[in-house]
């Protein structure tokens, strides 16, 4: 079930919310949590009921493993606890690799012998990449002693809570479960949480239905063409920029909706995006893009690899390896491998440059005088260039795209809008016609560069068990207008265009 579908918005959500409130009021929070788990499993099963068994099986095994780790810790047997943890991580990675990488590995292996792989591509159970990370984090948290209440209902809720189940934000057990106590969570009694949640949801719907899906119309056909041939230079630039915006609006929309939905139930989820295209460097970009993934990789991969504790060389190596694995996590393909390697290399260069600047006061003085806008534009272009690898269905397509991007004047020019006819321009914009591509991209760029992000706009503090700020009447009215207008436009668009899946469902 998609957040941007009528059945979710007008059937699943109202029923789930109503029963949640009823259960909380009459039977207490534990009953309400039980209901939320059940609703979340239904939400998941609607896609493909067969994968519910995979999810539940994996949840059961992980819960049992978590119990073993905690028991070993209680017995002060650290070695045993570590072995259980490693067994758990191994199990989770095996499941993930089995579904995600088996075909890729076999295809490459058999390609060496010019033969076809003996199996067809495996259909990836939805959410497996995100859920696997959360389960691994739980096992590590158990080992570290960060889990104080190992409870089946809590664990089920932590893994399956539907707003974040499919595509994050990647949530940690401790901050989420800390919010399941009535006496500690002020949001359960706060109407502002519902209001802010609804506003998040409306803004997210707008971003997805109107901005992301419109950008897709200028990206997808060109990337499709690149499967077969080199597109025109202008078309390739348009597609690269449109895809960069599509991916941001799409994924951040999902995160906004997830945060909004969770707030409506009285829970806070971490912020996942903070205006990433306003980043002034690649390092800054990764502090703003898919922030919960970056945190996870830092805490559970980069630091265990040694982090920055063993000198500059190993620090850079660990950083590069972390980014490489981040690339592979996104998909089984050489393009994702290269995308990770490219970002790892850019991060290394960025860190190295900082190192150089630290050693030269004169250079630093010149560097600091450069306008931030220049850094923002250069960073964005670098990131956009790398997204080509991320979006291209294979390496040959990526090659075609890069060839076209490096020759901006090649191929035929795209049609231009008759600017003197405003009504025609408006129609072209609304119909996302071919000639309105640059207009849509300009609007998208203006939004990501000049407007506050949703977290800023709605003054969202993700700290658990901290009340949502009180809203003045004026602010309530402003939020109401924003939510009403965004919701109306999103629903209008959804009524005339079929709902599309979120891009990160593929990962």
- Give catalytic residue positions: 330
Report if residue 54 touches another protein, rule: CB under 8 A: no
Report if residue 484 touches another protein, rule: CB under 8 A: yes
Report if residue 78 touches another protein, rule: CB under 8 A: no
Question: CB–CB of 223/397 below 8 Å?
Answer: yes
Report if residue 195 touches another protein, rule: CB under 8 A: yes
Tokens of 150: 């190992």
The contact pattern for another protein, residues 378-417, with x = CB under 8 A and - = no contact, is ----------------------------------------
DSSP character at residue 248: H
DSSP character at residue 435: G
Q: Token pair 């939020």 is at which residue?
A: 479
Kindly state the smallest distance separating residue 432's Cβ from another protein, in Å: 8
307, 399, 411, 480: which one binds another protein (CB under 8 A): 480
Kindly state the smallest distance separating residue 491's Cβ from another protein, in Å: 8
Kindly state the smallest distance separating residue 487's Cβ from another protein, in Å: 6
Burial of residue 64, with CB atoms counted within 10 A of its CB: 0-12 exposed, 13-18 middle, 19 or more buried: exposed
- Nearest Cα neighbor of 33 from 138, 159, 148, 136 is 159
Kindly state the smallest distance separating residue 426's Cβ from another protein, in Å: 6
- Nearest Cα neighbor of 200 from 471, 493, 482 is 482
In terms of CB distance, is 207 or 315 closer to another protein?
Answer: 207
- Nearest Cα neighbor of 344 from 373, 366, 322 is 322
**In 150-232, which ranges are continuous DSSP H helix?**
152-160, 162-165, 173-177, 191-206, 213-225
From the list 34-42, 98-106, 318-326, 420-428, the region that binds another protein by CB under 8 A is 420-428
49, 111, 365, 481: which one binds another protein (CB under 8 A): 481
DSSP character at residue 301: I
Kindly state the smallest distance separating residue 450's Cβ from another protein, in Å: 23
From the list 190-198, 403-411, 442-450, 459-467, the region that binds another protein by CB under 8 A is 190-198
In terms of CB distance, is 140 or 195 closer to another protein?
Answer: 195
Distance separating alpha carbons of residues 59 and 62, to the nearest angstrom: 5
In terms of CB distance, is 304 or 415 closer to another protein?
Answer: 415
The contact pattern for another protein, residues 439-478, with x = CB under 8 A and - = no contact, is --------------------------------x-x--xxx
From the list 194-202, 254-262, 268-276, 410-418, the region that binds another protein by CB under 8 A is 194-202
Question: CB–CB of 315/308 below 8 Å?
Answer: yes
Torsion angles phi and psi, residue 310, rounded to 5: -125, 40
From the list 125-133, 191-199, 233-241, 387-395, the region that binds another protein by CB under 8 A is 191-199
From the list 126-134, 332-340, 406-414, 485-493, the region that binds another protein by CB under 8 A is 485-493
Burial of residue 14, with CB atoms counted within 10 A of its CB: 0-12 exposed, 13-18 middle, 19 or more buried: exposed
In terms of CB distance, is 365 or 485 closer to another protein?
Answer: 485
Region at 273 (left for phi over 0; alpha for psi -120 to 50; beta for the rest): beta
In terms of CB distance, is 331 or 444 closer to another protein?
Answer: 444
Report if residue 205 touches another protein, rule: CB under 8 A: no
Rule CB under 8 A: which of 421-440 touch another protein?
A: 423, 426-428, 430-431
| Contacts of 300 by beta carbon, 8 Å cutoff, 6+ apart | 133, 136, 137, 140
Element (H, E) at 135: helix 128-144
Question: What count of other Cβ atoms lies within 10 Å of the Cβ of residue 87?
Answer: 14
From the list 20-28, 116-124, 293-301, 489-497, the region that binds another protein by CB under 8 A is 489-497
479, 502, 503, 507: which one binds another protein (CB under 8 A): 479
Distance separating alpha carbons of residues 326 and 316, to the nearest angstrom: 15
Number of residues that bind another protein (CB under 8 A): 29
Tokens of 373: 């806008």
18, 105, 396, 485: which one binds another protein (CB under 8 A): 485
In terms of CB distance, is 17 or 107 closer to another protein?
Answer: 17
In terms of CB distance, is 50 or 492 closer to another protein?
Answer: 492
Kindly state the smallest distance separating residue 235's Cβ from another protein, in Å: 19
Report if residue 191 touches another protein, rule: CB under 8 A: yes
Kindly state the smallest distance separating residue 204's Cβ from another protein, in Å: 15
Kindly state the smallest distance separating residue 471's Cβ from another protein, in Å: 7
In terms of CB distance, is 147 or 202 closer to another protein?
Answer: 202
Report if residue 488 touches another protein, rule: CB under 8 A: yes
DSSP character at residue 120: P
| Contacts of 218 by beta carbon, 8 Å cutoff, 6+ apart | 238, 239, 242, 432, 437, 440, 441
Burial of residue 131, with CB atoms counted within 10 A of its CB: 0-12 exposed, 13-18 middle, 19 or more buried: buried
Distance separating alpha carbons of residues 76 and 74, to the nearest angstrom: 5
Distance (Å) of CA 408 to CA 128, 273, 378, 404, 405: 39, 31, 17, 6, 6
Binding residues vs another protein (CB under 8 A): 191-192, 194-195, 198, 423, 426-428, 430-431, 471, 473, 476-481, 483-485, 487-489, 492-493, 495-496
């Amino acid at each position: 079930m998609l957040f941007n579908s009528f059945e979710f918005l007008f059937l699943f959500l109202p029923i789930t919310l109503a029963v949640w409130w009823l259960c909380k009021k009459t039977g207490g929070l534990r009953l309400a949590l039980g209901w939320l788990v059940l609703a979340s499993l239904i939400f998941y099963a609607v896609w493909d009921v067969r994968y519910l068994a995979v999810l539940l099986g994996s949840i059961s095994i992980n819960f049992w493993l978590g119990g073993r780790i905690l028991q070993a810790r209680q017995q002060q047997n650290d070695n045993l606890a570590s072995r259980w943890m490693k067994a758990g991580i191994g199990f989770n990675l095996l499941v993930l690799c089995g579904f995600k990488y088996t075909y890729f590995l076999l295809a490459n292996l058999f390609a060496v012998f010019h033969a076809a792989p003996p199996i067809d591509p495996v259909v990836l159970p939805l959410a497996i990449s995100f859920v696997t990370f959360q389960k691994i984090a739980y096992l590590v948290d158990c080992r570290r002693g960060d889990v104080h209440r190992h409870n089946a209902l809590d664990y089920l809720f932590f893994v399956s809570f539907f707003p974040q189940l499919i595509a994050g934000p990647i949530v940690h057990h401790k901050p989420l479960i800390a919010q399941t106590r009535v006496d500690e969570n002020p949001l359960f009694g706060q109407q502002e949480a519902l209001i802010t949640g609804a506003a998040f949801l409306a803004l997210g719907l707008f971003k997805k239905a109107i901005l992301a899906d419109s950008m897709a119309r200028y990206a997808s056909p060109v990337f499709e063409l690149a499967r077969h041939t080199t597109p025109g230079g202008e078309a390739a630039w348009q597609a690269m920029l449109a895809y960069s915006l599509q991916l941001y609006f799409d994924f951040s929309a999902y995160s906004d909706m997830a945060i909004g939905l969770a707030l409506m139930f009285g829970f806070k989820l971490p912020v996942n995006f903070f205006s990433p295209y306003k980043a002034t460097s690649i390092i800054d970009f990764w502090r703003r893009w898919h922030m919960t993934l970056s945190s996870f990789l830092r805490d559970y991969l980069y630091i265990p690899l040694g982090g920055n504790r063993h000198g500059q060389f190993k620090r850079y190596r660990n950083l590069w390896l972390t980014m490489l694995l981040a690339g592979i996590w996104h998909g089984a393909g050489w393009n994702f491998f290269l995308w990770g390697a490219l970002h790892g290399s850019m991060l290394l260069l960025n860190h190295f440059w900082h190192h150089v600047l630290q050693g030269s006061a004169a250079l630093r003085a010149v560097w600091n005088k450069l306008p931030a806008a220049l850094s923002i534009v250069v960073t964005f272009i670098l990131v956009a260039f790398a997204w080509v690898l991320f979006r291209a269905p294979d390496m040959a397509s990526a090659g075609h795209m890069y060839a076209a991007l490096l020759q901006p004047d090649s191929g035929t020019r795209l049609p231009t809008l008759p600017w003197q006819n405003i009504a025609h321009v408006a129609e072209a914009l609304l119909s996302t016609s071919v000639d309105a591509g640059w207009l849509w991209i300009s609007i998208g760029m203006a939004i990501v560069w000049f407007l506050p992000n949703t977290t800023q706009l709605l003054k969202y503090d993700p700290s658990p068990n901290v009340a949502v700020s009180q809203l003045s009447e004026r602010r309530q009215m402003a939020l109401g207008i924003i939510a009403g207008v965004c919701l109306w436009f999103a629903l209008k668009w959804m009524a005339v265009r079929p709902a599309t899946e979120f891009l990160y469902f593929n990962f």
